[in-house]
Amino acid sequence: MKNVIILAWRNIWRNKKRTIITVLSVLFSVFLALIMRSLQLGTYGQMIDSSVKLSTGYMQIHEKGYWEKKSINKLVSNPQEVINTLSKKGDIEYVVPRLEVFSLAASDSLSKGVAITGVDPSQENRFNGLGDKVVQGEFLKENSEGILIAKGLSSYLKLGINDTLVMIGQGYHGINAVGKYAIEGIIKHANPKLNKMAVYMTIPVMQTFIGAPNHLSALLVTPKNPKTLEALRANLEKDLGEEFEVMTWKDMLPEVVQTIESDNMGGIIMLVILYMVVGFGIFGTVMMMTMERIKEFGVLVAVGMKKIKIELMLFFEILMMTVLGLFLGIALAFPIVFYYHKNPIKLSGDFSSSMEEMGLEAILPFALDSSSFLAQGVVILLISIFCLTYPFYTIGKLKIVKALKG
């Protein structure tokens, strides 16, 4: 085996220019693929993170059937029991409780439909930094009796700090939900829709408003590792039973999933084209390496070298060239990916504004994902193996006498 490897290594340097061109083609394709893929995955990660923090969280637990109609009559009636179950799970970072309803809000002469969210101020702030979005007044405290409203809503209703907002809506099990609340703070949401209709109050105040003490509409679960979300879901479904529905952000934000999937498909098509070009390049090299050495293979078989050893030698030759290109490509791409993972590219101008309007941070982060690097290795290896079919077939069918005639 050692001799076959030595022979393979020397063979690839028989035609230095060809080997260098092949290695460089692999290097650049791996480099480009890694940069493209890291940027793409980083952007998806940021999109998911922003969407998740802005609205649903990574995972929510509701009373069975809540999400479909978001009915106020399908609330979690024993949230503490659920929280106790969740607290026993080692793979959960923290849980954020929420109670969400729609209502009509009115000032002296104006009214508007609003989305009210009952929150635990400290947990909500930990989850999405809601407190940082306060532009006027103060953020909610645990015992606040007042509310926070979005800036767009405050402008529309012409209300400011310490003004009173009246709300009327449907409460739990058909009762009227009516209340008037002092505005403690005004927050600015980047998302224009939210900025026109968001109202926040503490969960106990909200429970009193809708007449559902000790009830919640959702428990937002933040896992320690978002990649294990599906496993965590299966685990929770088993533990919580059929009374509850456990949904991930993918179930709750299908439009984000669709956006990512369609964009991802474009990226994958680009990668396929890139690797097809490289594949043909490698195949060309392999073909030439085989064709010009038919006589040599004939001699080797004649003197007693088994065909499988010749095939092994060619396998090592291709492997050495492609692995060399692969490692050099990774070595070149890694520092760039690492740098932009730690220091994302900051966008400016119109693009930046439009991203901020959508509630996304105007940055282009790179994902530092080992699976992305591993995938390049697997793809290059598969291309190499595919390219070896030609020499393997040729050697398998080799007729010594014909080969010796060259």
Partner 1 sequence: MENSIIKIQGLKKVYNPDTIPVFALNGINLEIEEGEFIAIVGPSGSGKSTLLNMIGGLDSPSEGSVEIGGIKIDELDSKKLIDFRLKNIGFVFQDYSLLPVLTAKENVAFVMQLQGQADQKCNKRAEELLTAVGLQERMNNRPAKLSGGQQQRVAVARALASKPKFILADEPTANLDSKSTSDLLDIMLQLNKEEKITFIFSTHDQRVIDKARRVVWVVDGKIDKDERK
Q: For binding to partner 1 (CB under 8 A), which residues are involved?
A: 3, 7, 10-11, 13-14, 295-296, 299-307, 309, 400-401, 404
Distance (Å, whole) CA 312 – CA 308: 6
* Minimum distance of partner 1 from residue 341's CB (angstroms): 43
Q: Which helix (H) or strand (E) holds 148?
A: strand 147-150
Q: Which is nearer to partner 1, 236 or 310 (CB)?
A: 310
CB 130 within 8 A of CB 139: yes
Q: Which is nearer to partner 1, 6 or 269 (CB)?
A: 6
Distance (Å, whole) CA 298 – CA 286: 17
* Minimum distance of partner 1 from residue 290's CB (angstroms): 16
Give the distance between the most distant pair of CA atoms in the chain.
Answer: 103
Rounded to a whole number of angstroms, the CA Rg of the chain reads: 31
Nearest to 189 by CA among 357, 352, 50: 357
Q: Which is nearer to partner 1, 287 or 404 (CB)?
A: 404
Say which DSSP state 76 is in. B
> Which residues lie closer than 8 Å to 356 by C-beta, 6 or more apart?
190, 362
* Minimum distance of partner 1 from residue 289's CB (angstroms): 13
CB 329 within 8 A of CB 31: yes
Q: Which is nearer to partner 1, 243 or 292 (CB)?
A: 292
* Minimum distance of partner 1 from residue 406's CB (angstroms): 9
18: number of Cβ within 10 Å: 16
Q: Which is nearer to partner 1, 110 or 400 (CB)?
A: 400
Q: Which is nearer to partner 1, 112 or 309 (CB)?
A: 309
> DSSP H helical segments within 292-348, as ranges?
294-303, 307-342
Q: Which is nearer to partner 1, 18 or 341 (CB)?
A: 18
Distance (Å, whole) CA 294 – CA 118: 78
* Residue listed under structure tokens 């933040």: 222
Q: Are strands 345-346 and 244-248 parallel, antiparallel or unpaired?
A: unpaired
* Minimum distance of partner 1 from residue 384's CB (angstroms): 21
* Minimum distance of partner 1 from residue 392's CB (angstroms): 16
* Minimum distance of partner 1 from residue 25's CB (angstroms): 23
